[in-house]
Structure 1
Amino acid sequence: MSKNAYIKLVPASLKQNITVEEVKELFNFFMTNTAKTGEQLSWGYSEAAFPYTIEEKEDANGNWFYLKGKDPRTHKYILVGVGTEEGEDHTHTSYIQFTLTDISTHGDKGKANEYCKYLAAKLKGELHLFNGRVMYHYPKK
């Protein structure tokens, strides 16, 4: 049974809409920063911080992509997609969805949690974790 985590872009977030390409840019920014950290430490930190390749299938229609683990013993797949949901007051809320498949490993779950927290903090969103808990990264009024 697959598990999902969501980053909802609420009115207090930096953005109210997001595309798959923008999510990929955020992952590229993450990879660049971890590579710089690795250079400062003289250690290959970027490989440990992001042990995936970004893959997209033709039938994704620009709505999702997946992170494919470089070492299948420790990391397999994390699906990442974007979408919108309609609220009770007929407003639309954009979200980023992380999905762990049936074959995802514990390493995938740990990395998915890390990436969710990073993106939620970067976008100042509302993070709904795999375990049902909610973390609020946007400023409260």
Structure 2
Amino acid sequence: MSQNAYIKLGPASEKQVITIEEVKDLLMYYRSITSKTGDQLSWGYSEAAFPYTIEEKKEADHKWFYLKGIDPQKNKYILIGVGEEKQPESEELMNYIQISLTDISTHGDKGKANEFCKFLASKLKGELHLFNGRVMYYYPKK
């Protein structure tokens, strides 16, 4: 059974609308800052921090992509997509990022997906709905 986490972008978020390319750019930024950490430690930390390649299929239509694990023993797949939903109370559209684990995803994938979720939510100041149902708020409180 697949599991999903969501980063919802509300009015207090850094952005209210996000594209799949912007999500890829944020993951590339994550990769670059972790590789700099590795350089400072004289250790190949970037491979441990981001052990994936970014793959996109033609049928994705710029709505989703997947991260494919470099070492199939440790990591398999994480799916990442963007979408929008109507808010029941206001009928306004709210954009979100969805992170999904497949049936063959490993525990390593879930750990990395949680890291990526927290990183993206903190950068975008969004509302993070974790795989376990808990919610973390990264937007500024009024």
Query: What band does the TM-score fall into relative to the shorter chain?
Result: over 0.9
* SS of residue matched to 2:30: helix
Amino acid at match of 1:114: E
* SS of residue matched to 2:113: helix
The 1-side partners of 2:36 and 2:125 are apart by 24
The 2-side partners of 1:31 and 1:45 are apart by 10
Amino acid at match of 1:138: Y
Shift of 1:129: 0.1
2:32 matched residue in structure 1: 32
2:117 matched residue in structure 1: 116
1:70 matched residue in structure 2: 70
- 1:41 aligns to 2:41 (yes or no): yes
- TM-score scaled by length of structure 2: 0.99
What are the superposed Cα offsets for residues 21-65 of structure 1, whole Å, 9 maximum, x if unpaired? 000000010011011111111000000000000000000000000
The 2-side partners of 1:119 and 1:44 are apart by 23
2:4 matched residue in structure 1: 4
What are the superposed Cα offsets for residues 57-96 of structure 1, whole Å, 9 maximum, x if unpaired? 0000000000000000010000000000011111000000
Structure 2 unaligned spans of 5+: none
- TM-score scaled by length of structure 1: 0.99
1:17 matched residue in structure 2: 17
* Structure 1 outlier segments of 4+, above 6 Å: none
1:91 matched residue in structure 2: 92
Structure 1 unaligned spans of 5+: none
Shift of 1:103: 0.2
Amino acid at match of 2:97: I
What are the superposed Cα offsets for residues 4-26 of structure 1, whole Å, 9 maximum, x if unpaired? 00000011000000000000000
Aligned-CA RMSD value: 0.4
Percent identity between matched residues is 71
The 2-side partners of 1:41 and 1:105 are apart by 28
Shift of 1:3: 0.4
Amino acid at match of 2:82: V
* SS of residue matched to 2:119: helix
